[in-house]
Structure 1
């Protein structure tokens, strides 16, 4: 066939060189992704079978070094890999194509969006958590607590759904015949209360109690204009946010932490003391009664170790930090781990707490709670015996005296009745172990 200039172009050697260059670049690219593709196939296979794998197995299948294989699950694939001791398992790789997995594996990891159901739910959870903070910290927002709760409930619900997606838990409602319950054509997912019970099955924890308190409070204030509750529950709100981030990081890794987007809210200290006094007065008004009684009853029914936990309610104070170098670059607010303080340091901080903190009301126990606690120590203890006890020991008046405050019991406004202290439990437990005293108490007339 005669040479044709148009077929090969003006310079046939250059054309051959260009073709060779394209092929060389293609081969290089395929070589670069060969081990990544082997990792993708390996992870997909394990995920389909529901099997865990080890770093050694990953290295054997891909040809990567052991140290390299240790890095990828915690750095580049952290959204899809869960570690349990020496075992690893993948979740969500099946939603990615091979090209998408290559993008995840590339150096542009932080710019790669996770478009799986889990990834979308996780993004929604973080967005609404930040929205909750923005609402609460906005100085122009009057109903801070309600705005915060509405958004943090959505955030928690989405976070739990993302966790259930990762774990393969079916979190959708089913009808009696096992078919999905549909609302507007969509499957009805569990609400937050149901998610909480699934996540902490038969477990009582401060985090669980915190969320359930906020759910109940939302239901109470949903149709009421009650800004005065903000100061009364700010500790619970702060704990809810802190617990949210802890769970987020523990379940999905440090890269999802919200701290990069948050700062400590500035406090208007000049008016805070009077604002607290005014808010407490407002909270005693009759239109707050339903919410006030809910808050008091819920807290009174909790175990002391739950109420005292920072995971249920944050209680903190700020101490001015003095330093030798005013221009030093350390953070203005420092968080102290009490467990790491020396005895002398702890005494100094405790003195500061004693100086600025208010005295917490010791009278928190309803009569039914007193009976419940004593029944575990004194078999057969009941409400009738308890009534005889306070009458025998003259612990309180027989009529309602709104100003009464005794050693073991006091009349509490809001509860509109008498509540007891833990010292009353200790006192009765000791006294009633004496058989003579117990018999005398039983003879007491009601």
Structure 2
């Protein structure tokens, strides 16, 4: 049996933390369920990004600024990047909506751990859309980086829920939202005031859906819950939906049917994406040089064509061809963005695209 990749244990720990976070969020018996959700999603994101760094050979340890060859240590173990530092490495663009959403919860976690335990329910109502975005962003990052077989959809169940509330229940939720302590309300207002309008309205920052409840007759060919997509509605139906009050919330995630090679790239499209992300020319010749130099897959004619670096490449038996992962494209873009990195990866001298 093949030995699991170096990053597998870290990724497994990440998924376990995410599942625990969702369980706490959905458990009405937990008096501090939102606090638990925030803390465990923080750990899930931290371990997920660490797993990516391990896979991509990114050194995420802290080094002593006085002694360049000495690691900083905590209780004898190397000190590793905290989530804030990982965030800047993964999303350098400060205006990225995923970074903005995660940054909000990083700051919120510090407040929740030391005070405001009584504000848990009010925070859950106020930040439910942000929390849903946090989880959906995690799912997107998890499956994009490590494949659909890692999806939380294989581990989580759709929870039972109250489809709508009485007018009294709706008013109770509004009162609960208004009970948020003034300093927490100020914290949220200040944080969002620093975001661009496009980021604040981005569903990756705050996820909002409106569900319409319709009591339908029993139909043996129909499922119990049916969703109508906004894009499939007429203009009149959209206008009616937008006028409705908020009566409940449902998260919808598109279900992908099994597709061979889903999310994988053939060599030419992969090389084109790399070239689009770096300042140098990068064609199929460079791509072949890169996989040969990095031993990503066996050479042509090898008796064991399936012995690939599974993080970066998969062998397709029916077509006798190789398909490359998004993670490999990201790896090449990151490494080939500098002249030194380009030459180290391909063994070739880079040529600036502006000179072509």
TM range (shorter): 0.5 to 0.7
Match of 2:89 in 1: 198
CA distance in 2, matches of 1:333, 1:142: 32
**Cα shift at 1:325:** 5.3
SS at match of 1:356: coil
Preserved CA contact (<8 Å) 2:142 2:150: yes
Match of 1:308 in 2: 201
Which structure 2 residues correspond to residues 106-121 of structure 1 after superposition, within 5 A?
Answer: 114=4, 116-121=5-10
Match of 1:291 in 2: 184
The answer to whether the aligner puts 1:236 opposite 2:130 as a matched pair is yes
SS at match of 1:164: helix
CA distance in 2, matches of 1:154, 1:335: 35
Preserved CA contact (<8 Å) 1:132 1:151: yes
CA distance in 1, matches of 2:245, 2:82: 40
Q: 1:174 to 1:335 in 2, by over 3 A?
A: farther
Q: 1:326 to 1:248 in 2, by over 3 A?
A: same
The answer to whether the aligner puts 1:267 opposite 2:161 as a matched pair is yes
The alignment yields a C-alpha RMSD, in angstroms, of 2.1
**Cα shift at 1:216:** 0.8
Q: Alpha-carbon deviations, 1:369-403, whole Å to 9, x = none?
A: xxxxxxxxxxxxxxxxxxxxxxxxxxxxxxxxxxx
Question: Which of 8, 15, 18 is matched with 1:129 structurally?
Answer: 18
Q: Which has the larger radius of gyration?
A: 1
**Cα shift at 1:321:** 4.7
**Cα shift at 1:305:** 1.1
The answer to whether the aligner puts 1:188 opposite 2:79 as a matched pair is yes
CA distance in 1, matches of 2:186, 2:85: 24
**Cα shift at 1:122:** 0.5
Q: Where does structure 1 differ by over 6 angstroms across 4 or more consecutive aligned residues?
A: none
5+ residue gaps, structure 2: 248-356
Match of 1:209 in 2: 100
Q: TM-score, normalised by structure 2?
A: 0.63
Q: 1:329 to 1:186 in 2, by over 3 A?
A: farther
5+ residue gaps, structure 1: 1-98, 102-113, 359-446
Q: TM-score, normalised by structure 1?
A: 0.50
CA distance in 1, matches of 2:227, 2:156: 15
Question: Which of 223, 231, 238 is matched with 1:349 structurally?
Answer: 238
Preserved CA contact (<8 Å) 2:95 2:196: no
SS at match of 1:172: coil
Question: Which of 245, 248, 258 is matched with 2:142 structurally?
Answer: 248
Preserved CA contact (<8 Å) 2:24 2:36: yes
Preserved CA contact (<8 Å) 2:35 2:112: yes
Match of 1:276 in 2: 173
SS at match of 1:302: coil
Q: Give aligned pairs, total.
A: 239
CA distance in 1, matches of 2:189, 2:149: 38
Preserved CA contact (<8 Å) 1:213 1:298: yes
**Cα shift at 1:335:** 6.4
**Cα shift at 1:222:** 1.8
- Relative contact order, higher structure (CA 8 A, sep 6+): 2
CA distance in 2, matches of 1:137, 1:164: 31
Q: 1:182 to 1:299 in 2, by over 3 A?
A: same
Q: 1:260 to 1:329 in 2, by over 3 A?
A: farther
CA distance in 1, matches of 2:86, 2:236: 42
Preserved CA contact (<8 Å) 2:95 2:195: no
Preserved CA contact (<8 Å) 1:173 1:180: yes
Preserved CA contact (<8 Å) 2:6 2:55: no
